[in-house]
């Protein structure tokens, strides 16, 4: 008989089986779980009426109207009727339990609700605003912050968060730039993935896991002129290369849900955009979770000009929208559309299945009360450990924009400091935008923080010096919640004089100024992105004293700071740092932590330069050393930003060696290593974010002048040196070409490593296919 297998074959075969086993086991287990879920959901759906199915697609708000008008009334009745699939804006174990009981005990099929909330940068313990989180360049801290938020949110009965917000933004006029990770697609993707992992943990079934909701899909950050809710118009190449990567990265990290955006994408509102919600998201990218609309975004499609509520609801369902937030378009029209043949039962079933699957994945059918734990609500929320994590994260998020003559860090003993400005003795504005459950009364002001840190022999004095703004019309718009911004009973002139008098007696002035909480975030576009005039007047009066001014800057966006950069001794950008704001600011001002944050957005010199971003394309007539006729520039201002992407100083000084590349000629899948030696030449130990950029100067399409490809955050003692090596593969050279094919093209590449996008060492390599 012919021998088919030798002993050698058998050994190889057994080894192969052995190695494949764990993999196939895991895949088989996953498949079995999916099959189990499908069988469960199919079984349930067989029992459901059309109305009950449509009810699952309806998301209502349970508490206050957060960002718009509330059209839902009588929530408990709606729940009992089976007309509601989920509630958001409601938290606290008592509140959530009541509603969950109404759903589970009060409905025919006992289907649990999903409970969502805008948990954006912490739940009770508030972390820095997302833009500030991104400037830490510390993915571990970012993931941890999301995990802590998840623990606190689940302790209060929640299982779904409307985060991460991953919209790339290149326009600082847009107030929601504060909610994202800035302008870089690759780094935005890294942050998005870290947040998803932090929220969802190892399994959505865990009691402390919440389902992430990636928003706003898609391109919301490219609203024309930075005007909120405005039109977006973009080429496919720009979408694929610069705006879509963070959404995809969040999906690849396992995000369970997506939120459609308010804007149009290629002319069609995102909420009714089949190309976006089905062809791209599900077919190209393989997303298998559910899509919720943004707040009344479905109803707003009527204003976009696509028809009445019934028409747009049918369009949205067919496009791939599964849940309607607040607008009740699905609830009030889908049955009629079914009867009229405008949607099919299969369309409704598909959306209903996806919502039920999310509840299944969260383990809510097994235990609808899984995260409702009155004990945990008392012990796991706003703990000392969580506050410490928030403080450390805040310290890492601060960006030192200027530090002339090493004025910072300040001395902890001796001398006198005048702390001035409307944000100095202020708790409310420490938290920033989107802090639904955050209690501002519990946050630490900068003045308090400074007093905690300095020794008794430092004289700390205080004067408010100015209102946030003196413009009462502007103030009215800022006050969408009660008492957010108000005028001081003292006149602006009296306040200013008091500040000058206080500052005169001090050695150093710490001016705590910038934007208040409601000046950035949703619906907070500004055409003038400078520090409000009232505060500028105060700074100018103080500057006349000739004493060093240290600006502690609060902001939810890049601001125009040319006067401040010329006149202040130091500027520490602290964004909106959260609950532990004052403590974190003081730790950094007095050198207990050496700042290491780096910008993730470009700071323009003037609002007229916007959009301004580092990874722009070259033009045929590039700007070189100064404005001139017949070049791509302005006649009245340089093209360069005030502070470039990736910029941020340290109390120490880091120097970079030239780049050492492993090869200058590479082929195919070879790996290039590029190494620099970074030395801490300054007087403090500190951290540095070493950044890798690559340029592709000749390709089939015009490519950005440089693109961030990797970074490493290192820690160096005084005098210490470290070799930092990046391994570069052709994968990192890929881009979408005119045919939207994702590939790399052979040729020369310029490798750049440095301390920010405008200050790098370079090396050139040739890479053949
Ligand atoms: C915002 C979303 C938010 C939703 C629910 C909308 O106005 O655009 O980011 O998640 O409201 O509060």
Q: What is the pLDDT of residues 199-250, one digit of tens each?
A: 999 999 999 999 999 999 999 999 999 999 999 999 999 999 999 999 999 9
At 5, the pLDDT band (50, 70, 90 cuts) reads very low
Tokens for 484, please give them. Answer: 């957010």
Which residue among 62, 64, 65, 67 is best mutated to probe the pocket of ligand 1, counting the most ligand atoms within 8 A of its Cβ? 67
491: pLDDT strictly greater than 90: yes
So where are the chain's domains? 8-47, 383-602, 654-768
Per-residue pLDDT at 79: 95
Please indicate whether residue 639, judged by its CB atom, sits closer than 6 Å to ligand 1.
no
> Residue 22: pLDDT band by 50, 70, 90 thresholds?
low
Q: What per-residue confidence (pLDDT) applies to 7?
A: 47
Indicate whether 431 pLDDT > 60: yes
Query: What fold does the segment set 383-602 form as a domain?
Result: Rossmann fold (3.40.50)
User: Among positive and negative, which fits the CA dihedral 377, 381, 382, 384?
Assistant: positive
Tokens 């602006």 map to which residue?
Answer: 492
Q: Whose CA is nearest to atom 10 of ligand 1?
A: 162
What are the C-alpha distances in Å from 404 to residues 55, 408, 628, 688? 62, 8, 31, 19
Strand, coil or helix: 308 = coil
- DSSP, collapsed to helix, strand or coil, labels residue 27 as helix
CA–CA gap between residue 427 and residue 440 (Å, rounded):
6
Instruction: Give the tokens for residue 129.
Output: 């605003």
Ligand 1, pocket-test mutation among 176, 294, 298, 433, most atoms within 8 A of CB: 294
Percent of the chain residues topping a pLDDT of 70: 96
* Listed residue (470, 418, 408, 475) closest to 446, CA to CA: 418
Catalytic one among 138, 208, 294, 347? Answer: 294
User: Do strands 707-716 and 686-695 pair parallel, antiparallel, or not at all (unpaired)?
Assistant: antiparallel
Please indicate whether residue 8 or residue 412 has the higher confidence score (pLDDT). 412
Condensed to tens digits (0 to 9), the pLDDT of residues 743-768 reads 999 999 999 999 999 999 999 999 99
Q: Which helix (H) or strand (E) holds 199?
A: helix 185-200
- CA–chain centroid gap for 307, Å, is 33
Query: Residue 680: in which H helix or E strand, if any?
Result: strand 672-680
Average pLDDT, the chain: 95
Verify whether ligand 1 is closer than 6 Å to residue 67 (CB atom). yes
Inform me whether the pLDDT recorded for 3 exceeds 50: no
- Band (pLDDT 50/70/90 cuts) for residue 344 is very high
Token representation of residue 653: 């000084």
Residue-level pLDDT at 74: 77
Q: What span, in angstroms and rounded, lies between the C-alpha atoms of 9 and 18?
A: 14
Closest residue by Cα to atom 6, ligand 1, is 295
Angle, CA of 226, 179 and 615, to the nearest 5°: 60
Nearest ligand 1 atom, CA 179: 9
Per DSSP (E only), the strands in 584-630 are none
Look up residue 617 and give its DSSP letter.
B
Mean pLDDT of 285-290: 98
**Does the pLDDT of residue 674 top 90, yes or no?**
yes
Ligand 1 centroid–CA 231 distance in Å is 18
- For this structure, is 294 an active site residue? yes
Residue with tokens 């992105």: 529
The angle formed by the CA atoms of residues 349, 351 and 356, to the nearest 5 degrees, is 90
What superfamily in CATH does domain 654-768 come from? Immunoglobulins (2.60.40.10)
Report the alpha-carbon distance of residue 368 to residue 359 in Å, rounded. Answer: 9
Number of neighbours of residue 738 by Cβ within 10 angstroms: 10
> Are the CB atoms for 721 and 678 separated by under 8 Å?
yes
Q: What is the pLDDT of residues 554-608, one digit of tens each?
A: 999 999 999 999 999 999 999 999 999 999 999 999 999 999 999 999 999 999 9
Mean pLDDT over residues 456-483, rounded?
A: 94
CA distance between the termini of the chain = 49
If you average pLDDT over residues 184-196, what whole number do you get?
99
User: What tens digit of pLDDT does each residue of 206-218 get?
Assistant: 999 999 999 999 9
pLDDT for res 445: 98
Question: Is the C-alpha dihedral spanning 736, 740, 742, 743 positive or negative?
Answer: negative
Quote the ligand 1 centre to 206 CA distance (angstroms). 26
Residue 23's pLDDT is what?
57
Contact 115, 211 (CB under 8 A): no
Say if residues 397 and 128 touch (Cβ distance below 8 Å): yes
Collect all residues with Cβ–Cβ distance below 8 Å to 627 and sequence separation of at least 6: 633, 634, 635, 636, 637, 638, 639
- How far is 712 from 309, CA to CA, in rounded Å? 50
Query: Beta 549-554 vs 570-573: how paired, if at all?
Result: parallel
Asked if the model's pLDDT at residue 13 lies above 70, the reply is: no
Q: Quick one: angle between helices 139-155 and 185-200, nearest 10?
A: 40
**Beta bridge mates, 686:** 716
């Amino acid at each position: 008989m012919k021998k088919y297998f030798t002993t050698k074959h058998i050994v190889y075969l057994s080894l192969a089986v052995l190695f494949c086993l764990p993999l196939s086991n895991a895949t088989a287990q996953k498949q079995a779980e999916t099959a189990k879920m499908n069988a469960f959901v199919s079984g349930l759906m067989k029992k459901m009426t059309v109305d009950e199915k449509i009810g699952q697609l309806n998301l209502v708000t349970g508490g206050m109207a957060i960002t718009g008008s509330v059209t839902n009334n009588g929530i408990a009745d709606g729940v009992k009727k089976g007309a509601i699939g989920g509630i958001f804006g409601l938290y606290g174990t008592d509140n959530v339990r009541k509603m969950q009981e109404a759903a589970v005990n009060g409905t025919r099929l006992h289907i649990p609700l999903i409970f969502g909330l805008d948990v954006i940068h912490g739940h009770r313990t508030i972390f820095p605003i997302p833009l500030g989180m991104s400037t830490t360049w510390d993915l571990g801290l970012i993931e941890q912050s999301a995990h802590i938020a998840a623990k606190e949110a689940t302790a209060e009965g929640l299982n779904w968060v409307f985060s991460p917000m991953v919209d790339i933004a290149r326009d600082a006029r847009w107030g929601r730039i504060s909610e994202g990770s800035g302008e870089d697609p690759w780094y935005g993707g890294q942050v998005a993935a870290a947040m998803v992992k932090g929220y969802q943990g190892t399994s959505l079934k865990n009691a402390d896991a919440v389902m992430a909701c990636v928003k706003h899909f898609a391109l919301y950050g490219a609203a024309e002129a930075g005007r909120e809710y405005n039109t977006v118009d973009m080429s496919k190449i720009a979408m694929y290369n610069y705006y879509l990567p963070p959404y995809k990265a969040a999906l690849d990290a396992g995000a369970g849900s997506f939120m459609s955006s308010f804007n149009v994408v290629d002319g069609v509102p995102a909420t009714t955009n089949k190309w976006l919600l089905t062809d791209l998201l599900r077919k190209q990218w393989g997303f298998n979770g559910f899509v919720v609309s943004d707040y009344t975004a479905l109803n707003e499609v009527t204003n976009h000009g696509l028809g009445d509520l019934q028409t747009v609801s049918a369009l949205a369902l067919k496009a791939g929208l599964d849940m309607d937030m607040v607008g009740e378009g699905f609830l009030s029209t889908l049955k009629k559309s079914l009867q009229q043949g405008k949607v099919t039962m299969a369309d409704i079933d598909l959306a209903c299945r996806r919502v039920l699957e999310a509840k299944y994945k969260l383990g809510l059918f097994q235990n609808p009360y899984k995260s409702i734990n009155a004990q945990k609500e008392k012990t796991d929320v706003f703990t000392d450990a969580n506050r410490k994590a928030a403080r450390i994260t805040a310290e890492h998020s601060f960006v030192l924009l200027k530090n002339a003559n090493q004025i910072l860090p300040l001395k902890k003993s001796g001398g006198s400091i005048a702390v001035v400005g409307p944000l100095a003795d202020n708790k409310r504005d420490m938290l920033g935008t989107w802090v639904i459950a955050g209690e501002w009364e519990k946050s630490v002001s900068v003045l308090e923080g400074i007093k905690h840190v300095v020794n008794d022999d430092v004289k700390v004095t205080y004067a408010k010096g100015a209102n946030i703004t003196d413009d009462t019309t502007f103030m009215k718009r800022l006050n969408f919640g009660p008492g957010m911004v108000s005028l001081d009973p003292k006149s602006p002139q009296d306040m200013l004089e008091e500040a000058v008098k206080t500052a005169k007696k001090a050695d150093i002035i710490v001016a705590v100024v910038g934007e208040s909480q409601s000046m950035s975030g949703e619906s907070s576009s500004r055409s003038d992105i400078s520090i409000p005039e009232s505060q500028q007047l105060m700074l100018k009066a103080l500057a006349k004293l000739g004493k060093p001014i240290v600006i502690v800057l609060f902001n939810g966006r890049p601001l125009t700071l040319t006067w401040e950069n010329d006149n202040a001794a130091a500027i520490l950008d602290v964004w909106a740092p959260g609950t532990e704001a004052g403590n974190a600011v003081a730790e950094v001002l007095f050198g207990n932590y050496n700042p290491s944050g780096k910008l993730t957005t470009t700071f323009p010199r003037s609002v007229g330069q916007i959009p301004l971003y580092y990874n722009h394309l070259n033009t045929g007539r590039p700007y070189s050393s100064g404005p001139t006729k017949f070049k791509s520039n302005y006649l009245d201002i340089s093209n360069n930003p005030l502070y470039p992407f990736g910029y941020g100083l340290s109390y120490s000084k880091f120097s970079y060696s030239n780049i050492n590349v492993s090869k200058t000629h590479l082929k195919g899948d070879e790996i290039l290593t590029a190494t620099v030696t970074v030395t801490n030449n300054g007087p403090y130990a500190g951290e540095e974010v070493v950044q890798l950029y690559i340029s592709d100067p000749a390709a089939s399409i015009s490519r950005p002048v440089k693109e961030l490809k990797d970074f490493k955050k290192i820690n160096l003692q005084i005098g210490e040196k470290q070799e930092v090596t990046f391994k570069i593969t052709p994968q990192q050279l890929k881009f979408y070409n005119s045919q939207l094919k994702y590939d790399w093209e052979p040729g020369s590449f310029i490798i750049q490593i440095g301390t920010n996008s405008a200050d790098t060492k370079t090396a050139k390599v040739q890479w053949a296919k």
